[in-house]
Amino acid sequence: MIRISAFRSVPPFAQGAVRDFRVRWALEEAGLPYEVRLLGPGEQKSDGYRDLQPFGQVPSFEDGEMTLFESGAIVLHIAEKSNALLPTDVEGRSRARTWVFAALNTVEPHIQELAGIDLFWPGQAWTKERRPMVEGMVRQRLGELANAMDGREYLEDRFTAGDLMMSAVLRILRHTKILDDFPSLAAYRARCEARPAFRRAIDAQMRQFDKAA
């Protein structure tokens, strides 16, 4: 049985966006059963857990003797097991992987920095000075993403792991109204989140937080 790790509880602003959600969603899309190891306060710092995830983050991934960490790597591993997340042709699979890396390396760093400023360090002098520049970079990347999609419903001609990861990254902007200025991307995110596998994954994560409350 596949086992992933997740935090037992997180602050409300992080609920629905913790990175184990991305792996849950991929597993739901692929139709693979899994169980969850819930981590209590400080447990991620233990030597035993660091053997699975050397940086003490979530998720970790266990499948028999194999262990993985980093949500992007795990999602791609799951995608290799299912045509639901990767096309069958070589070029299509490579392009889907490219979008996964684009989401994580090109789009997410700017969005995550903005979220950090807004949610962890609001009102400080240095954030007031830096925030306009960071938001400007977020808007630049969103504009470039919208242009690259060129009216398509998905990043390529069908939903793939690239869309899963990109829409998950766009969820980080939930605390802002920035996406309202990019209606095609707002519709794209909503389209991805309308998938039944998304609903199952998000409901599973939120249920554990409700139990911990």
Q: Using CA of residue 79, residue 172, residue 116, residue 212, what is the dihedral sign?
A: negative
Domain limits, CATH 1.20.1050.10, in the chain: 90-195
What are the structure tokens assigned to 160, written together?
Answer: 């793939």
At residue 75, φ and ψ (nearest 5 deg) are -60, -40
User: What is the rounded average pLDDT for all residues in the chain?
Assistant: 96
User: pLDDT-based confidence at 140, cuts 50/70/90?
Assistant: very high
Q: What residue spans in the chain does CATH classification 3.40.30.10 cover?
A: 2-84+197-208
The pTM of this model reads 0.96
Token code pair at residue 132: 């306009």
Residue 186 has pLDDT above 90, yes or no: yes
Of the chain, the percentage scoring pLDDT greater than 70 comes to 100
d(CA 165, CA 168): 5
State how far the Cα of 142 lies from the Cα of 170, in Å rounded to an integer: 9
Show the beta-strand stretches assigned E in 88-182.
none
- What's the CATH number of domain 90-195, 1.20.1050.10, 2.60.120.260, 1.10.150.300, 1.10.10.10? 1.20.1050.10
pLDDT digits (tens, 9 = 90+) for 80-129: 999 999 999 999 999 999 999 999 999 999 999 999 999 999 888 998 99
CATH of domain 2-84+197-208: 3.40.30.10
> What is the pLDDT averaged over residues 56-64?
96
CA–CA separation, 160 vs 210, rounded Å?
Answer: 30
Per-residue pLDDT band for 212 (boundaries 50, 70, 90) equals: confident
Number of helices (H), then strands (E), belonging to the chain: the values are 9, 4
